[in-house]
Amino acid sequence: MNSLVLDTEPVAIDVTVEADVLRVVLGDGRQISVPIEWFPRLRDATATARADWRLLGGGVGIHWPQIDEDISIKGLLAGRGARNRAA
């Protein structure tokens, strides 16, 4: 039996930053919640800066222009935060 497997890259469709959690909704219905502690610039940002985000590359990443923070969806799914990124 042959089956077709489409390897599609996960993409974000919505982002919410709460006091202690970053929540991302993916296009396939999954939701990712990670501690905001993983991203010190995001943690320390104002509510206005946290709410000012843009999707990158059709949703493969998220950018916060006011704090110059970029987060990839692949990185979130792999459990990588700013504290354990390569320098």
pLDDT digit string, tens, across residues 26-36: 999 999 999 99
Q: What pTM was computed for the model?
A: 0.84
Residue 24 CA to residue 11 CA, distance in Å, equals: 9
| Contact call for residues 54 and 12 (beta carbons, < 8 A) | no
Domain 12-82, CATH: 3.30.2020.40
Please give the radius of gyration of the chain, using alpha carbons only, rounded to the nearest integer.
14
**Is residue 81 very low, low, confident or very high in pLDDT (cuts 50, 70, 90)?**
confident
Domain residue extents for the chain = 12-82
- The pLDDT of residue 2 is 58
